[in-house]
Chain A
Amino acid sequence: MDELTQQHLQELRRGTVVLASLLTLRTPGYGYGLLESLAAAGIAVDGNTLYPLLRRLEKQGLLTSEWNTEDARPRKFYRTSAEGERLIDALLTDWHEIDAALGRLTDGGTR
């Protein structure tokens, strides 16, 4: 895949990492675990993107966090908040609308 295509794909996917993270973190999880679940689900994301993103989402109140100190090493567990759920709804609705619109554009040309 050429560089130009890759760049555009990256742009297209940027917002979906937020949505995928919020969806995954309905079950509490920590940074590296989320990185692996997202990769397994086919959403490749870099640690340099994901870790700062989690902090940002927490600051925006979309995630809540808690340090789990029961394991050998302390880990910060994130969970999607009520506000995060509202954002999920909004983003998913928009996602489906865009999908439908793109479908119309590819099938019928103009409408």
Chain B
Amino acid sequence: MTTTLTDRYVHAATRWMPGRVRHEVEAELRERIEDTVEAQGGRPEAEREALEILGDPLRIGVEYIGREPALLGPRMFFPWLRLTALLVVTVAPIVAAITMTVGAFEGDSVGAIIGGGVWTLLEMVVHLVFWTTLVFVVLDWTGISAPSDADTWSVDQLPDPRAGTGLGDLVAAGVFLPFFAALLVWQHVSPPFVEDGDRLAVLDPDLWSWYLPLVLVTLALELAHAVWVYRRGWTWPAAWANLGLTLLFAVPTIALLLDGSIVNPELVAHFDWDPAVVEQVLRGIAVGVGLVSAWEAFDGFRKAQAAG
């Protein structure tokens, strides 16, 4: 399947629109471009020329539906999304890691170190999202940044519709899911904690009776799901399946975390951790798992909606 300049232009002009409207505008824009190219005699360069004359696809898209997306205009939305995502996945973990390292050097208890790290992580995410959004909204509303690229826009700036529509997700799933599965097995088979020659697993070994196999199966299904989404895109069935898989992992995990029965009790005894602190940390992790799962499930439907 080849992507023509027209495909990329239409994608760039309409990608921020809601599903049904987007399909309409896509079809109309395609007709318009193809008619214009044909009127030029259909020369090979005609397509590029026609698109250059049309100009910035975002402006064209806005003209078609007569309004801009809400809080952030279309010009700001994608830069905002890119920067926010980048900051959240890089800066937040780094700062959390630093907090935990400092805590470790100061001789804090393991519970306090982990708790501090998780807390810092959440706090950083909230701050990063809030402040970047604020900066972008101010820029957008004051029009300071409204770039004059109506003049400088060129066809070469078109994004490739296939980029980021799934390959990145697939690679991430292909790396993360097996890694997580390996981690689960490793913590049981050869954990780093040893007492009297016995290795102490991190998670309660009793959980192998049902929970851990269930998680491994869920991970395998998640991987299959990622391949399915990569090949077929985010369809409604894919979003529902995503919801099912998310619940399959989240419900037992959160239940066990709140119940306190996920950590190997022998390990707690070995380190002489304060049970109250352990409980607090597990509760914090449960909240984190809940938030991430809710987002995961919602995100699937959001993507299915966007894909129309």
Question: Which residues of A are interface residues toward B (Cβ below 8 A)?
Answer: 30-32, 47-48, 51-52, 55-56, 67, 73-76
| B34 at interface, CB cutoff 8 A | yes
Contacts of A56 in B (CB 8 A): 66
Cβ contact of B64, chosen from A32, A51, A76, cutoff 8 A: A51
Query: Do A76 and B66 touch across chains, with their CB atoms under 8 A apart?
Result: no
| B63 at interface, CB cutoff 8 A | yes
A74-B39 Cα distance, complex, nearest whole Å: 16
Query: Do A55 and B27 touch across chains, with their CB atoms under 8 A apart?
Result: no
Cβ contact of A30, chosen from B31, B54, B63, B64, cutoff 8 A: B31
Interface of B: prevailing SS: helix
A30-B65 Cα distance, complex, nearest whole Å: 18
Query: Do A75 and B36 touch across chains, with their CB atoms under 8 A apart?
Result: no
Query: Do A73 and B63 touch across chains, with their CB atoms under 8 A apart?
Result: no
Query: Do A52 and B36 touch across chains, with their CB atoms under 8 A apart?
Result: no
Contacts of A74 in B (CB 8 A): 27, 31
CB-CB under 8 A for A32 and B63, given A67-B27, A76-B28? no
Contacts of B64 in A (CB 8 A): 51-52, 55
Contacts of A55 in B (CB 8 A): 28, 64-65
24 contacts between A and B (CB under 8 A): A30-B31, A30-B35, A31-B32, A32-B32, A32-B35, A32-B39, A47-B32, A47-B36, A47-B54, A48-B60, A48-B63, A51-B28, A51-B32, A52-B64, A55-B28, A55-B64, A55-B65, A73-B34, A74-B27, A74-B31, A75-B31, A75-B35, A76-B27, A76-B31
Contacts of B32 in A (CB 8 A): 31-32, 47, 51
Query: Do B27 and A52 touch across chains, with their CB atoms under 8 A apart?
Result: no
Query: Do A32 and B66 touch across chains, with their CB atoms under 8 A apart?
Result: no
Interface residues on chain B, number (Cβ under 8 Å)? 14
B47-69 vs A, CB cutoff 8 Å, 1 = contact: the mask equals: 00000001000001001111000
A88-B36 Cα distance, complex, nearest whole Å: 29
The 7 closest A-B pairs by CB, nearest first: A32-B35, A52-B63, A75-B31, A52-B64, A51-B32, A31-B32, A73-B34
For residue B49, give the distance in angstroms from its CB to the closest CB of chain A. Answer: 13
Contacts of B35 in A (CB 8 A): 30-32, 75
Q: Which of B31, B34, B63 has the most CB of A within 10 A?
A: B31
A75-B63 Cα distance, complex, nearest whole Å: 20
For residue B67, give the distance in angstroms from its CB to the closest CB of chain A. Answer: 12
A55-B60 Cα distance, complex, nearest whole Å: 13
- Nearest A-chain residue to B34, judged by Cβ: A73
A32-B33 Cα distance, complex, nearest whole Å: 9
- Nearest B-chain residue to A73, judged by Cβ: B34
For residue A78, give the distance in angstroms from its CB to the closest CB of chain B. Answer: 11
A50-B28 Cα distance, complex, nearest whole Å: 12
Contacts of A31 in B (CB 8 A): 28, 31-32, 35
Contacts of A76 in B (CB 8 A): 27-28, 31
